[in-house]
């Protein structure tokens, strides 16, 4: 009898994409079912919690698979917004991001305001990894950036902090109250993982606009929507109640899982 073998990564990827695929197959109809207190939403949130616990149990602090340059067979496919039309972003781009700053605030002892040059002068990490998108495609690329853990250490995270919120420059949606900038979050375990970096380089060159310049997050053990682009602020928080819809990210507030581990 043939032996059936499935890796932890393939198992968790299939599980995550299975639920997300339901969402993508009928977004409007699906979102209408995801009211707070609704049975379907409660079921999916429970399943997401199970995925999170399984990932922590099975993965521990293990690394996502890394590849060789021979495995890079195409340019990194962009996802989400690819050309922000916000005036602030266009002004920063016109000056090659010389005036851009990464703000680090919230539950920290030492708030920071870092230039791109300051980040690039910190110890860096280069990794060739696979980007898995919730839409079903994947792409291998080489990323270079500053380990997020080094920035957190410099800011001195307070004990009550539990999550890292990422605030971005790109407008992902609009409402009656104004533009909605992309936002997302991870917990401190993933934030301090050695492969979680603030990337400013892609395939040996500066990060292109379509891939998130001047800075994007790489969380290699999670699906693509958990890796915000066009980063402008990192905020240490103890919960999400006052941020967006209270579920930890733009897509999460619209029905996606908070934990996108693979």
How is the chain split into domains, by residue range?
A: 8-253
pLDDT at 261: 87
Contact 262, 12 (CB under 8 A): yes
Q: Is the pLDDT of residue 46 over 60?
A: no
Contact 225, 137 (CB under 8 A): no
Partners of 222 in the β-ladder: 261
- CATH C-level class of 8-253: alpha beta
Q: Which of 244, 233, 206 is nearest to 76 (CA)?
A: 206
7 contacts: CB under 8 Å, gap ≥ 6: none
What average pLDDT does the segment 28-34 reach?
40
pLDDT digits (tens, 9 = 90+) for 144-201: 999 999 999 999 999 999 999 999 999 999 988 899 999 999 999 999 999 999 999 9
pLDDT digits (tens, 9 = 90+) for 189-198: 999 999 999 9
104 contacts: CB under 8 Å, gap ≥ 6: 111, 112, 113, 114, 151, 154, 155, 233, 234, 235, 236
Q: Is the pLDDT of residue 58 over 70?
A: no
pLDDT band at 14 (very low <50, low <70, confident <90, very high): very low
Q: Which of 145, 135, 16 is nearest to 78 (CA)?
A: 135
Q: Which of 48, 47, 6, 31 is nearest to 222 (CA)?
A: 48
Count helices and strands in the chain by DSSP H and E runs: 8, 10
Q: Is the pLDDT of residue 73 over 80?
A: yes
Q: How many CB atoms lie within 10 A of CB 216?
A: 22
Q: Which of 98, 58, 78, 115 is nearest to 261 (CA)?
A: 58
Lowest mean pLDDT among 34-38, 86-90, 162-166: 34-38
pTM of the model: 0.81
pLDDT at 28: 35
């Amino acid at each position: 009898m043939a032996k059936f073998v499935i890796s932890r990564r393939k198992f968790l990827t299939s599980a995550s994409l299975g639920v997300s695929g339901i969402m993508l197959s009928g977004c409007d109809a699906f979102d209408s079912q995801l009211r707070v207190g609704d049975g379907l939403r409660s079921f999916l949130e429970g399943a997401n919690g199970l995925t999170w616990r399984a990932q922590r149990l099975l993965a521990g602090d293990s690394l996502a698979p890394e590849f060789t340059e021979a495995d890079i067979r195409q340019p990194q496919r962009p996802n989400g917004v690819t050309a922000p039309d916000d005036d602030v972003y266009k002004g920063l781009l016109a000056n090659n991001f010389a005036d851009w700053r990464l703000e680090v605030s919230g539950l920290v002892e030492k708030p920071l305001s870092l230039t791109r040059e300051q980040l690039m002068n910190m110890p860096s990490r280069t990794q060739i990894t696979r980007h898995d998108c919730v839409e079903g495609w994947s792409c291998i690329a080489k990323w270079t950036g500053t380990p997020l853990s080094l920035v957190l250490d410099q800011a001195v995270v307070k004990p009550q902090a539990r999550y890292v919120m990422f605030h971005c420059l790109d407008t992902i949606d609009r409402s009656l109250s104004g533009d909605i900038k992309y936002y997302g979050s991870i917990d401190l375990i993933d934030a301090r993982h050695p492969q979680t970096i603030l990337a400013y380089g892609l395939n040996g060159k500066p990060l292109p606009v379509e891939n998130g310049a001047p800075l994007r997050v790489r969380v290699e053990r999670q699906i693509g929507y958990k890796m915000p682009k066009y980063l402008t602020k990192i905020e240490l928080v103890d919960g999400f109640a006052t941020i967006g819809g209270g579920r930890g990210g733009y897509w999460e507030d619209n029905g996606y899982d908070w934990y996108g581990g693979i």
